[in-house]
A = this chain, B = another copy of it.
Amino acid sequence: MTAAGKHQVSRTDTSRRGSRQSRAGIRDVAAAAGVSITTVSDALNGKGRLPDATRRHVREVADRLGYRPSAAARTLRTGKSGLIGLTVTTYGDEPFTFTEFAYFAEMARAATSAALARGYALVILPATSRHDVWQNVALDGTVVIDPSDHDPVVTELVRQGLPVVSDGRPAGTLPVTAWVDNDHEAAVLGLLDHLAAAGARRIGLLTGNTTDTYTRLSTTAYLSWCERIGQDPVYETYPAHDPCAGAVAADRLLARPDRPDAVYGLFDPNGTDLLAAARRYGLRVPDDLLLVCCSESTVYAATEPPITTLSLKPRRIGTAVVQLLIDAIEGIDENRPVEQVIPTELIVRTSSQRRRSPRTKVSPPRSPAQD
């Protein structure tokens, strides 16, 4: 039973005009302003060609009566709700496993702002399409984060004729309207080159055993880079949705006989995981071990040492996804490219710069400007 389904209509008084307490409707405004309801509607929506005086008068009366147009009625009439769904496909069992908090928070924040700026609001929805709630909310379109291959949510939405834009290149033949993603291969290759240039001889990888596109592409890129350079791959795999598993895998990686002298961690917490593991083995960063991880978290600017991160630019992605979706909803610019690649950014910090200023001494306090 959905929320809306279990309610009774409560208004019992039938003589509309007679009721004094229920919220003012468009006809009340019309009556009070001495015009027709059409005029009220037009005046309030800036439609039609009314004299400014009428428009002002109607608006004034509406204001005085505290009139609020019914969103439901407008939606029913126009077929547009101004609502956009936002779903993040989950790995584990939990309804909402946001493994990458910072990424999601940033992305969602940007998406929300972008939607709001164009007059839309975001509705957070579960990743399971069978949930009642999907049937009970009028959406104009949906944003899907990291859809899995043959994602049932996406399939169902598309079948209903709703535009769907995904954050993350859809695997397989998922029929999304558009998608936005980074060039993960290029990002990984660039980052490995950066590590090699900093003196890394054997670069290790901390990666996930999940099948999502991000993990797959990044891992593949690593393997092909190793092949090209002629280095044996050194990597450990773990389920990305398990926070503890990351620390353990980091430890395993540094415990190997063929211990790498540089590591890239695919997931947000890997930086601290690896740093902790390095400490346990007495490895100094960056002197004995170079470190990079993919993260949006600002904490890596303040760790000891600060850790180089790869940013996927979630804000730009969130914005782009929403723009694409709303364009599709409004039928704007049909022949705009339906795929958009957002560049990543490697934020180089101490952890990936071998042997520069010793940095073991106390450095002077930062001034705000330096950030």
- Residues of A near any B CB (own CB < 8 A): 1-11, 23, 45-46, 66, 68-83, 95-96, 98, 101-102, 104-105, 108-109, 112-113, 116, 118-126, 131-133, 135-138, 140, 159-161, 243-245, 247-248, 251, 255, 269, 272-273, 275-277, 279-282, 297-299, 302-304, 326, 330, 362-368, 371
Contacts and interface: CB of A to CB of B under 8 A. Distances in A.
Contact of A362 (B75, B125, B282): B282
A263 B322 CA distance: 43
4 nearest interchain CB pairs? A3-B82, A3-B119, A272-B302, A72-B75
A80 B116 contact: no
B3 A140 contact: yes
State the copy count for this chain. Answer: 2
Contacts of A46: 1
Contacts of A66: 159-160
Given A98-B105, A282-B362, A135 B71 contact: yes
Contact of A123 (B5, B83, B118, B135): B83
Given A80-B4, A299-B272, A138 B96 contact: no
A116 B135 contact: no
20 contacts: A4-B71, A71-B81, A71-B137, A72-B138, A75-B76, A82-B136, A96-B109, A98-B105, A105-B105, A119-B132, A120-B133, A243-B298, A243-B371, A247-B366, A247-B368, A247-B371, A251-B365, A269-B298, A273-B302, A303-B303
